[in-house]
Amino acid sequence: MKQMAGQMPADNQQELRRIATEKLRLAKRFCELTAEQRAVISALPSEEAFVRMDALVKERQRCMDEFDRLSELATNLAIIESKATDGELRAISDELKTVLRDAAKLDTANKEALLAQREAMLKLIEQLKQGKQALGAYGRQGGSEAAFVDKNK
């Protein structure tokens, strides 16, 4: 069977379709994890929230590592798209782009929320520090007697 110019062998297209579908699944999971992180950020600074956030970050990193591995197999999305001749592969690639864009937006919002949490914690720490200093100064002023006794009196 003769291959037409600009078309990939059917086996290659099948493999690219499989890889693209798996990348899409991973991207959707990545997006879900990013959304879950947003909910956890609002519960910070509780210890449970820190533990959950750590688990989400680790799972998200595993998804990203697998996504990168698959990307290496398929070289990159631009090459897949340029060689895609069937609608299914192109549709998967388009959906993948959309999911990745959505995940990036969520991630940006999460970073902003974390920075806001950080600022709130820094203010709280500063307030606690000032309160401690005020209490220390208050304690020093009250009721201390002279350190020296005048024997002439």
Q: What percent of the chain has pLDDT over 90?
A: 33
Which tokens is 47 given?
Answer: 């210890």
Number of neighbours of residue 70 by Cβ within 10 angstroms: 16
What's the distance, Cα to Cα, between the start and end of the chain in Å?
A: 121
- Please provide the average confidence, as pLDDT, over all residues in the chain: 80
Distance in angstroms (rounded) separating the CA atoms of residues 62 and 55? 11
Q: For 17-35, write each residue's pLDDT tens digit.
A: 888 899 999 999 999 999 9
Q: Is the model's pTM score more than 0.75?
A: no
Greater confidence, 87 or 35?
35
The values of phi and psi at residue 85, to 5°, are: -115, -15
- Domain extents for the chain? 11-109
In one-letter notation, the amino acid at residue 57 is V
Q: Does residue 45 have a cis bond before it (omega within 30 degrees)?
A: yes
Count each helix (H run) and each strand (E run) in the chain, helices first.
4, 0
